[in-house]
Amino acid sequence: MKTGRLLEISKNAPRGLVLWAQAPVVAALIFGFSMRAAAQVSVTISPPSATVATNAVQVFSATVSGTTNTAVGWEVNGVEGGNSTVGVISTTELGTSNEALYLGPSAVPSGGTITVTAVSLASPGASASSTVTIELPSRSGVTYYVSTAGNDSNPGTLSAPWRTIQHAADTVQPGDTVEVEGGVYNEIVTLKTSGNATSGYITFTNYPGEAPVLDGTGLSVPKGVQEGLFSLEGNFSYIVIQGFEIRNLSSSTRNAVPVGIDFEGAGSNIEFLANHIHNIAQTLTSCSSANALGIAVYGTEAPAPISNLTLMGNQIDHNTTGCSENVSFDGNVQYFVEADNSVHDGDNIGLDDIGFEGVSPQGAYDQARDGWVFQNTIYNITSTTNPVYHDKLGADGYYCDGCTRVIVERNLIHDIDLSELASEHSGHVSSYVVFRNNVIYNALYVGFSIGGYSSSVGGTDHCVIVNNSLFNDGTYSKGGEGEFQIQFYATNNTVENNIMDNNTLNLYLVDDLTSSEPSPALLDYNDFFSSNGAASSEWAWQKTSITGFSNYQSASGQDAQSVFADPQYDNISTAPYNLDLSSASPALNAGTNLGVNVVGVLDFAGNPRVNSSGQINMGAYEQ
């Protein structure tokens, strides 16, 4: 990334120039050049129209001509970034804004259509719009029912339901819905039929007001097999799995991998919504053979990806995942949303977007990419209780392990080991990721880390860590590091507008523990604090330990506009902490506005990220 600032017209600027009737000649002389320049700017949007299911992901792109500033802002029904009623939208690609992900609302809005608009940031009078029809996923009108009191020889009606979910999976056609009544279903369900764009989705959902349980107690996963209680193996599109409790699939067999929901293959328009996945376990103690996952999405084909995927509103907890993750998007996975999920009480990584593990048969497609990870809550994630790790730290709350072009924002992450952007594979990096407006506290090892964990793995390139609040991190008595860490092969990264506060801990505020790269990141406009005081604060740059904030600034050449000051939070005396800022905070209006496509539309609490004067706070909250 170039170190120059992004220039952006205020979102409050008029869409066009209005000439005063009283002085048309003067106005034309003054504004004539600007009018000609504005008239030359044009925007096109693709697709110009679309049909999107509720909670589904749609990709939009914009092309701007007539100016060197090709960035656009995105609106839904005239609302910057959209809202829950009409759907929300965000760019995915750092440095440009010609690509965006739109997430449809959970219900069809009034009138059934919305408008997505791309607005030129160079000339706000230039824009282009797409008309989007929102509809329910399953469209045939055929609904089948499953009940623990049913029989698979029945017709599957409400009065004569089927007994097993698998029989429903064997029977349904595109456009159909399966409603499963409350009760325990002791079976592994393997989907057989895909939905399609013409007929619609195949939907598996709970009967309204009831909670079906897909329970794996006593069921086995064969050796050498990765298998889910819900399994999609091959090419599947237009599938919804919603409202299930999925639990108790475990193994102590080498290379047998139990999973809650397992999708391996290719396809598009998949929704996993409001499921509760827990107690999925692999109990072996060797990392080479002990793996389990709450949710696995593996893009195993190429060039066809798994795309347009929504993971939203799920609870994933109390899983024993060995050397794997609670949620893993791995391989050829593109255009995805992970939102409003709660991932907690696990012994390894919470949310993981992965690349370069050989999951895809073609290396060019072996990377989770173009995603949006927002408003998730991740907590109580540590490998200290993992039978594989033997009391060692290493469980990320959020981990971008070789992903690219992902926006990670407005997540609450606490009581975990760390969170990071890196790559575990030599010669590869996580790249063009924006990590913004997140709150992290009580991390055992370090609040946030970039760069590979050793000289034999990969690193982090062109990533932006902006407007996050990191508090009281590095609390592990056997080796906590502090707030922000730079490891191997970090290049071209930007770290600005963050608050990093050790509270009462005398640990590193910035720990650049390697000289593998001479300029791993640009750091500035941050607020650092520790109750030990500026003169006693601890730092490291290029493997050299430094005491004192001013000494760190001088030795590193970093953080020239940063401050060492108490952020003055609303509440840090009792958990959960409130890291919003008091009216006297030195972090108010002290950040640098890097533009909407970098800092985002909303802050952590859902308020406008930049105030009406164009000012921005340090940290995750805006007043």
User: pLDDT by residue (tens digit) across 65-94?
Assistant: 999 999 999 999 999 999 999 999 999 877
Round to the nearest angstrom and report the end-to-end CA distance of the chain.
Answer: 30
* Predicted local confidence at residue 543, as pLDDT: 97
Residues 116 and 205 in one domain: no
Residues 74 and 175 in one domain: no
CATH (domain of 49) = 2.60.40.1080
155 preceded by a cis bond (ω within 30 of 0): no
Q: Which domain holds residue 64?
A: 24-135
Residues 376 and 227 in one domain: yes
Domain boundary among 135, 153, 188: 135
CATH (domain of 484) = 2.160.20
Residues 277 and 163 in one domain: yes
Other Cβ atoms closer than 10 A to 37: 13
Q: Is residue 6 part of a domain?
A: no
Q: Is residue 3 part of a domain?
A: no
Q: Is residue 1 part of a domain?
A: no
Residues 210 and 66 in one domain: no
**CB-count exposure of residue 224 (10 Å: 0-12, 13-18, 19+):** exposed
Q: What Cα–Cα distance (Å) separates residue 607 from each residue in 79, 130, 410, 449, 464?
A: 13, 26, 11, 27, 21
* Predicted local confidence at residue 16, as pLDDT: 32
- pLDDT tens for 573-602 read 888 999 999 999 999 999 999 999 999 999
Residues 172 and 94 in one domain: no
- CA torsion, ordered 338, 341, 345, 346, to nearest 10 deg: -20
Q: List the Cα angle 437/443/447 in 5-degree steps.
A: 50
Q: Rounded to the nearest 5°, which phi and psi values hold at 364?
A: -65, -20
Total domains in the fold of the chain: 2
Residues 290 and 330 in one domain: yes
Residues 399 and 527 in one domain: yes
For the chain, which residues score pLDDT lower than 70?
1-39, 95-97
CA–CA separation, 620 and 413 (whole Å)? 12
- Output the six-digit token pair for 248: 């108790």
Q: Is residue 18 part of a domain?
A: no
Q: Rounded to the nearest 5°, which phi and psi values hold at 532?
A: -75, -15
Residues 70 and 148 in one domain: no
- pLDDT tens for 275-329 read 999 999 999 988 878 999 999 999 999 999 999 999 999 999 999 999 999 999 9
Residues 232 and 275 in one domain: yes
Q: What is the pTM of this model?
A: 0.93
CA–CA separation, 147 and 155 (whole Å)? 12
Residues 527 and 431 in one domain: yes
* Predicted local confidence at residue 96, as pLDDT: 64
- DSSP letters, 342-397, are EEEEESS-SEEEEBSSS-SSSGGG-B-EEEEEES-EEEEE-GGG-TTTTT----EE
